[in-house]
Chains A and B, each alone.
Chain A
Amino acid sequence: MKAGIVLFPGTNRERDMAQALRLVSGRDPVMLWHRDTSLPQLDLVVLPGGFSFGDYLRSGAMGAHSPLMREIRSFAERGGHVLGVCNGFQILTEAQLLPGALLRNAGMRFLAQEHFLRVETADSPFTRDWSKGDVFRAPLAHGDGNYTAAPDVLDRLEAEDRVAFRYVSAQGQDDAADRRCNPNGSQRSIAGVLSENRRVCGLMPHPENLVDPDLGATDGVPLFSSLVKSLVA
């Protein structure tokens, strides 16, 4: 699996992402610069976390208009795989490669804590190494993670099995109204979604920070091993 990580000014989780990809796939990803105007031959493009352009406008809004995003859009249209985590998810929604928007957290504070996600579908190249209903830990680190979309968009996401992850309690229960289950107030507790062709995935939490047994936990590994399985063949 050949992966490329996109660097915007203000990206700050590229090293974490590179480490996770290296650890699980055994291959070094290449680093891409937001001003590049062409993509190398890749199986996967990753938009990592951070504060692209300081997020001084809307989170991800500036990044979505970087020159490389035009290439990434056509890569996705050709069926390429794209993963956006945290700020990367925000950029993908701003670029309309994924539906919805990420608003300020309901509590109006930055959330940086370990939380629990439930896998809502195993039918995607990002989630096939999990089973539907699996609950795993993942760190949150965002100020704008409150997933929001029009009711018909949400209905359609659910009908098409495109909700990838939901925020849940440690016991796996979802309750959108309870901040202990759904800390940022996301609609229908949605933490991650898939594109129509299921090859673009965005999520707010950081599985890339839980992949190394030497640092105590490997809850995030299936995201990357799923991709390796899907993209190596």
Chain B
Amino acid sequence: MSMTVNAELAARFGLSAEEYQKVLDIMGRVPSLTELGIFSVMWSEHCSYKSSRVHLKTLPTKAPWVIHGPGENAGVVDIGEGLAAVFKMESHNHPSFIEPYQGAATGVGGILRDVFTMGARPVANLNALRFGDPSLPVTRRVIDGVVRGIGGYGNCVGVPTVGGEINFHPAYNGNPLVNAMTVGIARTDKIFLSAAAGIGNPVVYVGSKTGRDGIHGATMSSAEFDEHAASKRPTVQVGDPFTEKLLIEACLELMATDAIVAIQDMGAAGLTSSAVEMAGKGGVGIELDLDKVPQRETGMTAYEMMLSESQERMLMVLKPERTETARTIFEKWDLDFAVVGVLTDTARITVRHNGRTEADIPLAPLADEAPLYHRPLVHTPPPGRIGIVADPVGIEHALLTLLACPDLASRAWVWNQYDSGVGGQTSRRPGAADAAIVRVEGTRRGLAMTTDCTPRYCQADAHAGGAQAVAEAWRNITATGALPLAVTDNLNFGNPEKPEIMGQFADAVRGMGEACRALDFPVVSGNVSLYNQTSHPNGISTPILPTPAIGAIGVIEDVTKAVGLAMPEGCELVLIGEIRGELGQSLWLREICHREEGAPPVIDLTAERRNGDFVRRMIAEGRVEACHDIADGGLLVTIAEMVMASGTGCYLERPHFGTSLHAWYFGEDQACYVIATKQARELIDAAESSHVPVRHLGRSGGDALVLNEGMKLSAERMREVNGAFFPKLMER
């Protein structure tokens, strides 16, 4: 293709006519190809958040325990004992459809770098995955590649993959979602930031060599997919977890010295965004000499080097007198180390290559005049509540159908490919508790972590769905006994230029903000992925379900006090919270009645807070043997999962009806927990005196789930039904 810089090329690089005019105004001339490339990636949706920024600003980001909120590479939260949790979630959706293994693997690699860049040793990975219709061959191919990619990268770098979630829906057929989260631990007095400082200080490149992979990746992820998606395969980067592991160790070794002034990983838009952001944040200029950049291929142009998204690379500003110390460390780890530039007082980014100036851009306007859109939006009115729905199949059949369905089936086939124990601190493995728990090395503390979102709720009512995603994450952390601290969000939506999509986005963010405020659960980092939309040959374009995935962390002071799903014999089962029998948008309605209808369950944030605080207090007082929140599938699925986790059965009394039996058992009411306790009397008294709704449900024992109404299902049988889906789909 012709590379003559003009409005047409700018359009191909994803800049609108107005945006290109702005470039001309800033430069006062026609930009060079490299300059146009720099503008186009910095102003891409992916890097500039131009459609989402006005809404993101409304989210609460502060709390006394927040050390760094959004704006840094990752969020930083105080977890006590002089330590901080550093965490973020990020999407790698588009690459994961084009090339599932590498897309998912480099997603993990990228988020790891965001965390260790700040001085934290990564201690856990999680993910949030959405796939299309499992009966399609393409879905199987994507699942296989994504799971292998996440495992291949995480297992090799030696960071345990401890949690995550998976949903299926045909809306993700052509656009699966791969959201990866990393949590790291750092000392609160050793957090590294990206703002460059010190005119004359050297700019140092470390890690892998630069190749031609991933050029314009940020632009690709800012456009819709069409039937030619596969032709974009060359824009997907290739990951090397071995080099990443060396990079982690080398960076942490260097960070133990005082050599680093600023550090930033080269993520989306590679050298361009790291150089521009570091200099921009520090209010200094930067001069890069591309002849010094370690290169994997010959004959690379300045444009290619500035836009390459080769993986496992970092940019640092060092104290000049410590440069040799740093070089020694990186050479010990067999990593490239090159001084590629210097900080200047020009407030410009200057790029030289082969004796020529290839780019010379004033930094302030590149950042300050980045486009910001108040895109038109249309709110979708939420559906009305569904009326009474008769039970067509009976409780036993419905339970077995739900346990077998793709959204509830056991994920063991997936987890068993992820090393969840490396590091030697994993306390609760995937599936053992509502949140994963990893001990903080050298302390008794545990970090509880989860990822959550219910896209079908968001599709019906984005506002309620946004709030529910936050509330469920908070609840999952609470159910282990940990105190929820903060949130990272990964907002996956369709094309923001369509007003109804922008409406979904705005509503979901509003709902999230309300829940975060009510639960003292600030957002400290995040990522937005738009244009998750597939254009079909017939001209129709379909969006994904709105998916504001929430990653969250909490802390428990004594990891041995945390509780999971498995209950011993001889417990009383107690319900905390109120079941009204919310069948709208429930899995029961979808899987049994084949209807995706109605309003999602009501979110009552006051009840959420009250019930959760009570549950956490009971766990802290040692009154709880096991705890599980009610979520997808409702009360009976919750209890079935506890039975399957422990192998211990239970007997449930006949419920007091305010509702029909199936609505009681399968309604997806919020703010509810099932607790197994050996101190039922005390717990119920405490609930009543705290005005927390409480009800005795039954008792544990035997090896089957037994209902007063006559159903009896053994743990073994339920495990068999629950465990069949993934192996049958993937190993045939």
Contact = CB atoms under 8 A, between A and B. Distances in A.
The answer on A and B forming one complex is yes
Interface of A: 9-10, 12-13, 15-16, 19-20, 49-51, 53-56, 107, 109-113, 139, 141, 143, 206, 208-209, 212, 214-216
Given A110-B151, A214-B559, A54 B422 contact: no
Nearest to B240: A54
B455 to A, nearest CB: 28
Contacts of B156: 10, 12, 51, 54-55
A141 B422 CA distance: 8
A16 B421 CA distance: 9
Give the interface size class of chain B: 35 or more
B653 to A, nearest CB: 32
Given A16-B424, A215-B425, A215-B439, 16 more contacts: A15-B423, A19-B424, A51-B155, A54-B156, A54-B242, A54-B243, A110-B148, A110-B151, A110-B419, A112-B151, A112-B155, A112-B419, A113-B416, A141-B421, A212-B424, A214-B439
A112 B420 contact: yes
Contacts of B423: 15-16
A209 B333 CA distance: 26
Contacts of A111: 416-417
B259 to A, nearest CB: 21
B245 A10 contact: yes
A110 B559 contact: no
Provide the main secondary structure of the chain A interface. loop
A112 B419 CA distance: 5
Contacts of A19: 424
Contacts, number: 89
Contacts of B560: 214
Given A9-B334, A10-B156, A12-B158, A112 B417 contact: yes
A209 B424 contact: yes
B163 to A, nearest CB: 14
Nearest to B426: A215
17 contacts: A9-B333, A12-B245, A12-B422, A13-B158, A15-B423, A15-B441, A16-B422, A20-B424, A51-B241, A55-B242, A110-B419, A113-B415, A113-B416, A141-B155, A141-B422, A209-B426, A214-B427
Given A13-B422, A111-B416, A216 B246 contact: no
A55 B155 CA distance: 12
Contacts of B155: 51, 110, 112, 141, 143
Contacts of B412: 113
Contacts of B731: 107
A203 B148 CA distance: 24
Contacts of A107: 731
A43 to B, nearest CB: 22
A228 to B, nearest CB: 18
A208 B425 CA distance: 11
A107 B242 CA distance: 24
B157 A12 contact: yes
B418 interface: yes
B239 to A, nearest CB: 11
B152 A110 contact: yes
B498 interface: no
Contacts of A206: 421
Contacts of A53: 242
